[in-house]
Structure 1
Amino acid sequence: MKKKNINAPSPIDMVDLYIRVSTTEQAMEGYSVGEQENRLRRFCEALGYQIHKVIIDPGYSGASLNRPGIKEVIHDVQDHLVNKVIVWKLDRLSRSQKDMLIMLEDIFLANNCDFVSMLESFDTSTAFGRAIVGILAAFAQLERENIKERTTMGRQARLAKGHYNSSRPPLGYSFLPGCNDLKVDPYEASIVREIFSLFLSGTAINTIASTMQKKYPTVRSWKNTTIRRTLRNSVYIGKVSDVDITRDGIHEAIISDSDFNMANAMLQHNLEIKKQSCRSHSLLTGLLYCGDCGARMQPRTISKGYPLRRYVCYSVSRTNKAMIKSDHCTNRLHPYTLEELDNIIISEIKKLAVDEKYLKSIIQEDAAPIINEAELCQDRLAELDKQTDKLLNLYQIGAVDLSQIQDRLTSLKQERNALTQTLNKVSTEMPMNIQQIQDYATAFQEALAKNDYDQVNNIIHILIDKIVVLNEDIEIHWTFC
């Protein structure tokens, strides 16, 4: 809770003057900061008010209360440093009816502070003044919504007539004097044609960006996204658009329809290839672990002395410091390419569907540790029960006092609870049965045949917990074992 400043002057007759003006209003309607302040000072002088502070929000919209000046006003009111806040006009405080009423009821009236609008000649110290504020706030919001609606209608009308709507001309164009209509900039237009020509000739996006940065560093900041936006911008074939609406524009085209359509078809094709590549060539991402240092492995493109595209240990690639487990990992030259390792795992999953003997051998091989763990838990529980019974028998025949065995009984109970939890966990983590495993393996083959890589990836993660790779050795940890 804020403490009242006992050194502050008395709030009686103390007022804050609040001034807000946007750039447009100042230019078109004469609502300048100086003009508002002069009028408000004369108003206070005439009524004998003492000015505590002049608070200004220059260049801020009245659409919200997210303004530094209005926050300062609220603090002064809540600290009871003023008992009046005066503005030149109601919409200086806010153009939102909701925000206006919040300020009036939750800030001003709740802290016994009056709100005065000089131009509308009302004061919230009276019931009539408070009612008028609500009415005028409603009209202020109505005007704001009308302005927004007229602006939207104006943009749509301009678009229907083929006019360009954005406030900045795209690369290759400049604005005609006094309006937002486009005219071709010969120098920049040649750059746009060069970008399309390079891309249509097969040059990669990143190479085009690098070329543009070297040749035209002052025209734009050239990035891959800049090149893609240029290639996708239909303004270059004489179109104008706003949101999801596209119309024929009145400006001159720079690129032919055939070149534009071909470039965008290539972009879409490249995107599909990239998606398919990510799905088909990174199936094991998140499952692979290094058999030497234990770090995860990631798909990487390598070109030094052995085939491209491999899963590489993070301790070797050192691309992410947080994933590095060792500075001396030896798992560097395993013989499998990314596609080869994927195919090995795919073949192992396919065998589950057709070779039941192989499947049973995997389950039998890996099931023993779980059975042994359960048996060990049960044996130890039986031993704890015997010890507990022995101590209780001694107590019942009067051989020992309860205080003498209390700590031991407590220890036995704690160990028994822990073992019971472990046994329950082992019992509830029952593996899939053979039929379920074979069903998943069959569904995996069907998804692979349909190129449904999302389903392929899902089934891989259902059947495999992790894969450990050390040079040429591959160890699969199945989830059903």
Structure 2
Amino acid sequence: MRVGIYARVSTQEQAQEGYSIDAQKERLGNYCKAKDWKVVANYIDAGYSGSNLNRPAMQSLIDDASNGKIDAVLVYKLDRISRSQKDTLFLIEDVFLKNGISFISLNENFDTSTAFGRAMIGILSVFAQLEREQIKERTRMGLEERIKQGKHHSFAPFGYRHINKELVINEDEAEVVRDIYSQTAQYKTLKQINDFVVKTYPEYTELFTNKNNKIYDIVHNITYGGYVKFGNSVSKGTHEPIVDEITYHRVQAILAEKAATWQKLRTKRTGTNSHYLLTGFLYCGYCGARVRAVPRHGGKYVCYSRVGTPAHMVKDRNCKCQIYYIEELDSLVLNELKKIKDDKSYFESLKRKQNDIDGTIDKNKRELKKTEAQMNKLLDLYQVDDIDIGMLSDRLKALTAKKKNLMEAIRNSEPTMIPKMEYDQVRNMLSGIDDLIKNEATTQLRELLQMLVYKIIVRDSGIEVVWNFS
């Protein structure tokens, strides 16, 4: 059998304890003679730690094992090949056994060609897993302690440099960060801020992305406000913040407001992944069914009742709602958005119209409460036998139908409540709409619609947009 002997020593102390290279080679050579094995290679790592596999002789051993140059690997002691259970298991399972090579450790009488040796592999696996968990735990505890001390533990973000293990401000880049926060505090969108950075700071190309994710990372990075974080642990950092405390917290409040609004509006009703601008927003003004995009024949928006499938989306198979071309209906809605941006009085009229809708909702709620009271009164009369059962049944059916209609009317009229929007805020949101339309940026346009539109009702006479202004 062709045997490769591996020997390693890292310190003088080990040599004094009898682990010297010569001592290992002598004992392993004598063992091979007794077994009548042929030593074809000696792999010697003198002065290398066993904590990792970055050793020249170890790498040669791995290469020769993979190329079929040896049949077995012999070591004096398990910790000579590695002091890491994880690395030991890797060598045995993924290098030696994978290539049909036996592994023998003289001191522990460990031999993978025997049943006992193969059983030991399972035990090693358990200890390797334990070692990995211990490393993770020690790493986590170390990072948590650094956070408590206010020490930054990751790479230096844009605007900072690592100098002597401390974060130090790079003033040129810090100016960009401050401008980004200033723009965010003015309710500018990520696209608008990204365009501003591209125009004002063309030298910082690393910030330019189509998805604006670099800008997103900067405004959400607590490092700029003077904080450090690991997991859920947040502490005041020892580094100097780039953004002043008032601006930082104002921006975080705006981001939280936007996130809350987006979470309320981003539902299965509209989603985000659609090739069509108005998918999820459109409802038929006649039967109440949703209106879907059909790409055939130039692209059209068609009521589900007219399409006929799927069955659960159909409200009235006899619905005669007009079919709109996609381009035509998209233009109508986009023109509404542009009109809002350019005309404050129009925006205010829409808010007044919403107030009228709110008044109707309140009226329906009062009527609903009155109807429920009448139903309860009829049930009380029935319990004291003061009313004819036939008349009671007819009256309850009528009231139940009325209650159902009122609840449906309230549900259809009541948009999702969001923080109150003022004209300046909406105008800032829409300031880049012309460029978005020009570039056919459907995803970004849908994001605007999510913020501003509850639903769009389609009729032959035109469309009715139910806005989220409240």
Q: TM-score, normalised by structure 1?
A: 0.45
Higher relative contact order (CA 8 A, sep 6+): 2
Q: TM-score, normalised by structure 2?
A: 0.46
Larger Cα Rg: Structure 1 or Structure 2? 1
